[in-house]
Each structure stands twice: as structure tokens, then as C-alpha cells.
């Protein structure tokens, strides 16, 4: 079956929370969803820092006047959101996710964290005991609906107000097939993006690890490369 955007559900009324919303990837995603008119909550360990980041995003070009972008501590964002994106640094991933297990119960959780290390030769994939970052999240969040997505989206492109379209596919790994359509519909709120089912959670490791290859591509060609799946 070919990709058909017309079959995607209406997700315009969902509140999207971003844990790690003050970092580059989190801010970029928040900006794009805010531009699309989505209600966005910025999460941080510091509520004050989250509020400052939210105010900065709300003032960026393309965000509708009076749009809803607010900031709060991670716990509050988890409780108030329908969909929560985890965009924290890998070294704080387990502790942050574990601390939010109770408020994230029943929520859709989208993990976009890539476990990478860096040395003189550049980035490389780290070994994760659970298999991948999203599998670690799923193990820590037994009462949440978990998927991996947005792993390969360039933070500089997301943050650039002059970029209207981001032409790439968002690869979605999950055990919950309904999430493919919901998260795919959220991806489609960003012009140029498609959400594509890419297998179960056990297939997320190579998607997370491939970010190291994309960083090498970007460095070599001075680009902001993404992924596009052909024949769909």
C-alpha cells in the first residue's frame, strides 16, 4: 500500500509536550509544531528556563499570533500533554525518563534520542543494554505508548525561520500500529515531512545509530542531510 496522507487522523487538537525542549532538537521541533498551530509545552528541569525558551519560540517568525507555546517543569508537561517527545541528551536519558514514569502513564511517548559517542574519528553508535534508546524508554515506561521517531531531523533546519519545507521521511518504530498514523500525522504537520512505519522497537537501534552516518555526510558535504524512502 502506497503512502496516502489523506488517510491520516486529525491531530491538530493534540497538545505536544517536549521533554528537553530547551535543547537544540527540542527547540527546533517545538518551533515547527508551533508554526503549524499545534499547542506546544516546553519541558525542562527548570520551569523558569522552560518558560524563557517558550517565550523565545513564540516570538519567532511564522508562529501564529496568540499561539499556544508555554513552558513548565518536566513533570507538569508530562501530565498536561497528549503526546510527549523525549529530546534529552543520551547521558541523562534513563534518569529523566524513569523519573516521569508516573505522569507519562497513558501518554503517547515519542523518543528521538540517539545514543552516540564522539572521539577524534567522529561520532559512533553506543551499545545500549536494552537494545536502543527507545527500548530503554519502553522498559522504563510500561504504562505508556512508546515509539521512536524524529531521530534524523536536522536541528539547524528545524530552527531556521527561512526554511519553509523540510523534505524528509520520519522513520517510526513501535509495537503499537495506531501510533504510526498519529505520529505520522504530527510529522505531516511540518511541510515536506512524512511519517513512515519502519518496524518494531527492536529495529530502532540501526535507525538511532545511522545518525552517526548522517553527521559524517553533513560534515563532508556541508549539508543537513535527511532520509527519504523511495517507492512509497
**198/187 Cα distance (integer angstroms):** 14
**42/30 Cα distance (integer angstroms):** 7
Global model pTM greater than 0.75: yes
Cβ burial, residue 127 (10 Å; 0-12/13-18/19+): exposed
**107/110 Cα distance (integer angstroms):** 10
Region 26-35: mean pLDDT is 97
pLDDT tens column, 172-228? 999 999 999 999 999 999 999 999 999 999 999 999 999 999 999 999 999 999 999
**34/27 Cα distance (integer angstroms):** 10
pLDDT tens column, 59-78? 999 999 877 999 999 999 99
pLDDT at position 228: 97
Q: What is the DSSP letter of 37?
A: T
pLDDT tens column, 132-147? 999 999 999 999 999 9
- Give, for 148, the enclosing helix (H) or strand (E): strand 145-148
Comparing C-alpha atoms, which of 53, 8, 46, 10 is closest to residue 29?
Answer: 53
Please report, for residues 2, 125, 135, 148, the alpha-carbon distance to residue 196 in angstroms, rounded to integers and kept in the order given: 11, 23, 19, 11
Amino acid at each position: 500500500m502506497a503512502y496516502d496522507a489523506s488517510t491520516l487522523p486529525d491531530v491538530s487538537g493534540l497538545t505536544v509536550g517536549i521533554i528537553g525542549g530547551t535543547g537544540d532538537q527540542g527547540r527546533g521541533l517545538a518551533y515547527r509544531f508551533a508554526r503549524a498551530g499545534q499547542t506546544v509545552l516546553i519541558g525542562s528541569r527548570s520551569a523558569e528556563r522552560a518558560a524563557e525558551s517558550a517565550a523565545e519560540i513564540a516570538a519567532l517568525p511564522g508562529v501564529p499570533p496568540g499561539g499556544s507555546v508555554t513552558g513548565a517543569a518536566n513533570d507538569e508537561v508530562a501530565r498536561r500533554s497528549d503526546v510527549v517527545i523525549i529530546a534529552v541528551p543520551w547521558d541523562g536519558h534513563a534518569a529523566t525518563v524513569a523519573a516521569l514514569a508516573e505522569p507519562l502513564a497513558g501518554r503517547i511517548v515519542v523518543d528521538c534520542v540517539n545514543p552516540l559517542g564522539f572521539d577524534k574519528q567522529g561520532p559512533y553508535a553506543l551499545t545500549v543494554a536494552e537494545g536502543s534508546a527507545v527500548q530503554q524508554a519502553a522498559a522504563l515506561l510500561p504504562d505508556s505508548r512508546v515509539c521512536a521517531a524524529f531521530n534524523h531531523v536536522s536541528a539547524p533546519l528545524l530552527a531556521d525561520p527561512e526554511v519553509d519545507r523540510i523534505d524528509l521521511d520520519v522513520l517510526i518504530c513501535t509495537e503499537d500500529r495506531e501510533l504510526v498514523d498519529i505520529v505520522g500525522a504530527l510529522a505531516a504537520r511540518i511541510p515536506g515531512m512524512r511519517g513512515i512505519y519502519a518496524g518494531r522497537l527492536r529495529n530502532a537501534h540501526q535507525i538511532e545509530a545511522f545518525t552517526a552516518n548522517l553527521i559524517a555526510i553533513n560534515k563532508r558535504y556541508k549539508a543537513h542531510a535527511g532520509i527519504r524512502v523511495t517507492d512509497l
